[in-house]
Chain A
């Protein structure tokens, strides 16, 4: 396949995101001996640091160094990429909040196919790439075939590919700033600032035992059974996103990619389905107990111990038992 493969790499304060080497691994799953070009946009010393750091892993590193992208404004970066990417390219990015902002529109501007949130690739058949995706928050998986002939933009689910640490590619850093900047930059969306998340009453990132509740709790009034259990076991209450969306618990208790990253010893997932955004916030491989009434809930695939039960019945009984033993 003559198509060039690119990986768009996000970074923060001079450090490439973990997804960088996952994208490399993903690219090699599409084309085993792929030579992959990294693209890194930013400004000043930061961007140089990232370029030099990833250069050993990539065939080439394309650098875009300009104040206009010192904060990664997807609208501007999309404009730049449209200018520098050759026709028919295969472009990979992480399926994170930046990738979701950048890529659907990029595929339109480049007139390529688009595939988002891919968890695996199963090779190329003819002109079609065979990929694995999930639907219905991970309850089922699908194989999709996607036409590669005019190029493709793909986002890859963070954590789905094992980072390729092989290095040895010894890439040159090539400054593409001038090409990327040739002409007007999109100016209709202007970055103002980042507002940091509020600090909550408890810091769940420090908790050793988390009793975590999800939509299965059904009603705000039922939350009491969760705090009772947390108290009994000496842990803290955390939750999945819908509980925060409903304003039943404060945002600082949300576990997940758009919430907190926690690393407890024991994690109890009660009425939580186990979406990748939720699991993305659990690090350090805690011992996980899942209670769910759906035998097929994806959480059972990652938990250590699973119980099929209605949490509204099960949790109070468990609490009683724990208290009884004290």
Chain B
């Protein structure tokens, strides 16, 4: 099975407090810790496990600038066989459809049976996988939390639906799946693993290499444009308890008692 996994470099929300810059044009990017999108890590782990079970290869691909190399190498250190960076100035400002078109062009250069994406990335759009599938005319399943390879023509997948229930489907290969967290336990990658792949050659493909016209991608091709960032005002918000820890705890215990929070 030849598997392509799409990964994105994103600010790590569990490591950072995301703030809007003073002009509201972007988030404050200085000092941000970046990592691979949480969902993509599960996708790469799943691909590696499938390969280890039935053979084949795992390629990791990302659309981004040269900094994305770091996340591709990280996923190679997990055990992916190959990495490809899709990078070009004209890709900047792409919307979801733009990213999917760029990925599609790369898919068509290869010979993949299965494409995995994360269920969603930092902006929670959850769009690239489904768009890519439709562009390729391949079947798609989102929020996949179980994969069982039946034979070289079809697989069985579980989709996570509301209430923790699981929708089982049979799906023909080649197909695109978006992977939900919890499908597996992504392996830990140590410094040593990353050092091992530090000097592996990473092909970089540009719009030209992919046969993409510059006006079909990037800002020029985008239907969706982000105009500003802001912090929403939601009604009152919480009453913040202040003071020393002792004082706070005393107040909290009183409140809990009055609200039935202590039996």
Residues of A within 8 A of B (CB): 73-75, 78, 96-98, 100-101, 103-109, 113-117, 130, 132-137, 139-147, 186, 188-197, 208-209, 215, 232-235, 241-242, 244-247, 251-252, 254, 257-261, 265-266, 268, 273, 287-290, 294-296, 300-309, 313-314, 317-318, 321-322, 325
* A314 to B175 Cα, complex, angstroms: 48
7 of the cross-chain contacts (CB-CB < 8 Å) are A103-B130, A114-B223, A188-B171, A195-B165, A196-B165, A241-B182, A302-B234
- What residues of B have a CB within 8 angstroms of the CB of A232 in the complex? 262
Q: Are B238 and A305 closer than 8 Å at their CB atoms?
A: yes
Q: Is the interface of A mostly helix, strand, loop or mixed?
A: mixed
Residues of B within 8 A of A (CB): 11, 13-14, 17-20, 27, 96-97, 100, 119, 122-131, 133-135, 138-143, 156, 158-172, 175, 181-182, 185, 223-232, 234-235, 237-241, 245, 248-250, 252-253, 255-256, 259-263
Smallest CB gap from A325: residue in B: B253
* A191 to B232 Cα, complex, angstroms: 40
Q: Are B238 and A191 closer than 8 Å at their CB atoms?
A: no
* A75 to B170 Cα, complex, angstroms: 12
| Cβ distance A17 to chain B, nearest Cβ, rounded Å | 10
Smallest CB gap from A188: residue in B: B139
- Contact A265 to B159, CB < 8 A, known contacts A113-B223, A195-B165: no
* A60 to B52 Cα, complex, angstroms: 53
* A141 to B158 Cα, complex, angstroms: 32
Q: Are A188 and B172 closer than 8 Å at their CB atoms?
A: yes
Question: With A188-B171, A197-B166 given, can you name 19 additional A-B contacts, CB distance below 8 Å?
Answer: A97-B159, A97-B161, A100-B119, A101-B130, A101-B143, A104-B96, A104-B130, A130-B227, A136-B18, A144-B227, A191-B168, A194-B166, A208-B260, A245-B182, A266-B256, A289-B255, A304-B238, A305-B241, A322-B262
* A297 to B56 Cα, complex, angstroms: 43
- Contact A195 to B163, CB < 8 A, known contacts A105-B130, A135-B123, A189-B141: no
- What residues of A have a CB within 8 angstroms of the CB of B142 in the complex? 74, 97, 100-101
Q: Are B238 and A290 closer than 8 Å at their CB atoms?
A: yes
B27: contacting residue among A140, A143, A189, A235, CB under 8 A? A140
- Contact A147 to B223, CB < 8 A, known contacts A109-B134, A140-B230, A317-B249: yes
